[in-house]
Amino acid sequence: MKPATYEFLKQRFSAYYNGEIQGAGAVYIPESLAEREWGFIFFSRDTKASGMRRHLSFSSPEEVYTYLKTMTPAHVYYSSAYYVRPSAGQMSDKGWLGADLIFDLDADHIVRGPYDVMLSRIKDELFKLIGMLTGELGFAECDLRINFSGGRGYHIHVPTLAVRSWDSAERRELVNYVSGVGLSAERMLAGLARDNGWQKRYRTTFTAELDRIAAMESTEQIEYLRGIRGLSETVAAGFLQNLDAIRTIAANDPEKLLENKVIRSVANAENPPFQEKILAAAAQTDEPVTTDIKRLIRLPGSLHGGSGLRVTPLEISRLEAFDPLIDAVVFGERQVAVACSFDLSVPILGTCYDLHKGTNIVPESLAVFLCCRGLAEMGGA
């Protein structure tokens, strides 16, 4: 990072934390503030040398505000955990009291592509996860605190007392459920169908896979089934002769199909096409974040040093209309010069900017975004 870029980002982040950015909103102060550990990453001219400063604690909101105003961090984190001694230098000395339940949805784990495309894709996962938590796992919408991460995804915080004492194993069971881990045809196809949950999703996915096979050309059908381990051409051909009847049974009484060798093979965890569909029906959340009972998570209302966007708290009713590249942007339209190292196209604040290698005059909001992401430096080429 060039000195001019370093100074520009520090100055703009400082303006935000000192209340000089109109309409930017305040940072969030978590419950039980004195029991939380805090961590910070600061801007550095040498990005490889920048590390986290952690094991800090604050006793009042004023202390938090003063620290942000005077230190100007690039990234702000607080612990999902509650501690007796949050500022202790060793984790074993902190005295763990419990932790909020956290879900992290990051588009980088699911799809690669333009930033706006990734942000749109991860919102689909967010809605699936909210639906599972509130429709199947007993959480109320008011239990969920949803934040745009400021980067490539969303966080869901569940600070309720009912989950605070859960250990990593209990939290992993929850992640396994929403991620569809450990499903089997024997369990999902047996018994009466439920109105929601994994049994319904699994059966819908299973019948869709049979429909997909039925729509293939005959040679493609044989090739697909023979590619599944343990299925011969003879077995595959016999299955295909009865496929219409099998599809009818699958729609009405799928338990009768569990003795069919081909059915068990198609719905097997080692059959990639079917498992890809199961994965698509799951909510793809980051398992290590949820199972870590001592996790540091981004502070809502702070700025993300990798994008300049605000870590934005959201009501569920606002999610559909929320556009991070408009609603999480806090900087304005003042024109500044940046030097791009290659041609690129970037949407922000409702406009798509086609930038060329070399000097470009862009709004300050875009300059912050580009510099934070390492796509440009301040000043002319």
**What residues are labeled active site?**
104, 106, 286
Question: CA-CA distances (angstroms) from residue 161 to 82, 166, 167?
Answer: 12, 10, 13
DSSP helix, strand, coil percent of the chain (3-state; round to 5):
45, 20, 40
Terminal-to-terminal C-alpha distance of the chain: 14
Residue 2 burial (CB count, 10 A): 13
Stated as kind and residue range, the H or E segment containing 76 is strand 75-79
φ and ψ at 276, to 5 degrees?
-65, -35
**Which among 342, 343, 341, 348 has a CA at the least distance from the CA of 362?**
348
DSSP code per residue over 47-60:
GGG--EEEEE--SS
Would the CA dihedral through 255, 261, 262, 268 be positive or negative? positive
What is the identity of the amino acid at 233?
A: E
**Which among 297, 303, 325 has a CA at the least distance from the CA of 27?**
303
What is the identity of the amino acid at 195?
A: D
The residues with which 99 forms a beta bridge, in sequence order, are: 81
Euclidean distance between CA atoms 323 and 320, whole angstroms: 8
Structure tokens, 16: 């935000």
Per the CB < 8 A criterion, the answer to whether 262 and 240 are in contact is: no
For 114-171, the three-class secondary structure string (H helix, E strand, C coil) is CHHHHHHHHHHHHHHHHHHHHHCCCCCHHHCEEEECCCCEEEEEECCHHHHCCCHHHH
Residue with tokens 């100074």: 7
Euclidean distance between CA atoms 194 and 200, whole angstroms: 6
